[in-house]
Chain A
């Protein structure tokens, strides 16, 4: 809890720094705060955690691991943001503060033990992002992304809330432990309200994670928002939403698996195909990444479909691998777009000649996203697939393998463009912060791919 309080205070402090025009201090102060948060979470790592504050939050290993992942990725995103927002506005402090507020919400979502905290966390996370998506006030795409995200977010909140209200009506409590004991005590006599509540919660959460058929806002919002905000949305927010999703279902709804599993199975298969097939036909790298994030949501849903002892671990590894690769991909896209003014695949033509190391980093990220062995993405996919196989969902694994093959096609378009399409171009200058982020993310991706044992068995 001290970590969440620290982060909220840090965000307010940043607003004051902005007030006193201490622009140069913003990045160091926020990074220091994030490091302090990481340390606090590190000391919280305990085997037998109890729910705190009248059962509102529970900082077990699951929550701490996902929190550390979210805070770490946010630190990488903030490092990329140096000088990024200066062009958008003179009020830079607000952006740092809003990102940290959003992170605070994400941390609540991964550690909730009461449906009230799930709701509040989701909203703190989303409301800050509505503003962030529209920070380019004059840019039409940014406006459109903000409005669409706001309308869809508010709409999905309604479903989430109605689901929570129905669960409350059936059980008389918002507490996860009370709901769980209600389900365990009446395995057959759970009221229809409860079933309706589960379905509405699936709809609301599927909206938030961007799973088909509730995905239609994702490509437009990811495409229209500034690249850095897209990075934050597709990594931290997606990870937190999935962690909350899994926590709710693994904690409360496992005895009713026969009821909701078929629903999620259909959602998963539709998500995989919609994401991959539309990603193939995209001409813009940014839009391709948006659709690929939909397909990755499909892979991450595997852990909830085949819910079991290894679900938490596989979603942690998958989300970590996906986040790191996305940070590299979007970070390089920022550099390329600055140099060429375009985010199409052609903008990457011949990049390997002048910027061999940047091209290498993008290649590693693409291989990790495609799930090629010796990268973290492969380990994540492997854990997902083996979890589903242990649940005897052979059909799902076959469909997923077909989709992984499709994924290789569109990820390799970038690699082909960089290495085999000649183009006379100038060298892209890579700033020091970008170097640090790219090196760190690529190293972790490779090390996890070679020594997966370091994280396997963590949870």
Chain B
């Protein structure tokens, strides 16, 4: 166990930044190209979680707890947002019988 922790501490900060940027980019691309609302929501969660990871890494790097406290704020927000978002999706599904984003094209101009 000791060696595992030492190995983890040996990972440079740059790797965390690159890793989180990659996950964030996957999330952004997911939101932009997927058409299923549920998957878009999952991609948004991916974006938020990459930020959580990055904040935790920076927090350790600076030896400052406020970054980790911020992670809790983001988790609470993500939970609230998912609750509201799923409610909205259920409401839309009841009217359109679809969770495809292409069904939402009545407003134009």
Contact = CB atoms under 8 A, between A and B. Distances in A.
Interface stretch (A158-166, A240-248, A364-372, A378-386): A158-166
Given A172-B62, A173-B64, A146 B88 contact: yes
B107 A169 contact: no
A168 B89 CA distance: 34
A287 B109 contact: yes
A147 B89 contact: yes
A282 B108 CA distance: 10
Interface string B75-109: 00100110011011101100110000100101101
Interface in B6-32: 13, 17, 20, 24, 27-28, 31
Interface stretch (A44-52, A134-142, A311-319): A134-142
A5 B89 CA distance: 32
Interface stretch (A17-25, A34-42, A115-123, A345-353): A115-123
Given A146-B91, A147-B89, A158-B47, A130 B107 contact: no
B55 A165 contact: yes
A141 B106 contact: yes
A303 to B, nearest CB: 29
A144 interface: yes
Contacts of A162: 24, 47, 50-51, 54
Interface residues of B, number: 44
A147 B88 CA distance: 6
The majority secondary structure among interface residues of chain B is helix
- How big is the A interface, by class? 35 or more
Interface of A: 116, 119-120, 123, 127, 130-131, 134, 137-138, 140-141, 143-148, 150-151, 154-155, 157-158, 161-162, 164-166, 168-169, 172-174, 193, 219-220, 223-224, 282-284, 287
Interface of B: 13, 17, 20, 24, 27-28, 31, 37, 40-41, 44, 47-48, 50-51, 54-55, 58, 61-62, 64, 66-67, 69-70, 73-74, 77, 80-81, 84-85, 87-89, 91-92, 95-96, 101, 104, 106-107, 109
